[in-house]
Amino acid sequence: MSLAALIIGLFPLSVVLFTALSFIHFVKEPLLINFLLIPVFLYLYPLLSFRLHNLIFPLNEGYYDLALKKYTPWWGSFKIQQIYYHLPFIESLLQTVPGLYSLWLRLWGSSIGKNIVWTPSVEISDRSLMEIGDNVVFGHQSQFICHVISPKEDKMVLFIKKIKIGNNSFIGAASRFGPGVEVESNTLIGLLTIGMPRQVFKTGRHIAPQPPQEKKV
């Protein structure tokens, strides 16, 4: 692992430390400006750090060999966003205000349309790599991961690609989408659907078949 990777690996700890110090400072001096430091370090600090990191190390789609002793932009992106994986309630708070979570993702670099319905347990692992049209509904505990890592011979191959969801689509609860999944407009994705890397869901209804029920004796 490169020196840059080791340094950026400390980023989640810095978020925790700065937020904790801000809270302690507010308790000692309960002023509004001191209170505002808490959301600054929880939201603004990672966001601005990512934007700066992305200017220097652009997070591009494609394949990367993680076995090489070379800094990978995705690693920095992952570490900057890691606090939201461990403490998902931080982002859930944004979803309580209509339109705020969509704005949040746009600030990270995603393309988000109008009239999006987010449930509190939606998980997006790569906040800059989503392309979503208008009037899309996301079901409870649906998950979207724009990267995948798989071993291949003596390599650890990282694949990165945007997830794209068209207008007027519905994503069923507990669905899981991998990198490169595309959902065409006017599409209904059923409960517990798995979208494999690069899979395309054509316009229409995609309902997973239900397992046969056992007959009662």
169 close to 136: Cβ distance less than 8 angstroms: yes
Residue-wise pLDDT for 102-122, tens only, equals: 999 999 999 999 999 998 889
79 close to 49: Cβ distance less than 8 angstroms: no
Residue-wise pLDDT for 39-95, tens only, equals: 999 999 999 999 999 999 999 999 999 888 889 999 999 999 999 999 999 999 999
Closest CA to 189 of 202, 174, 173, 206: 206
Q: Which tops the pLDDT comparison, 30 or 217? A: 30
Q: Which domains does the chain have, with CATH numbers?
A: 1-87 (no CATH), 89-207 (2.160.10.10)
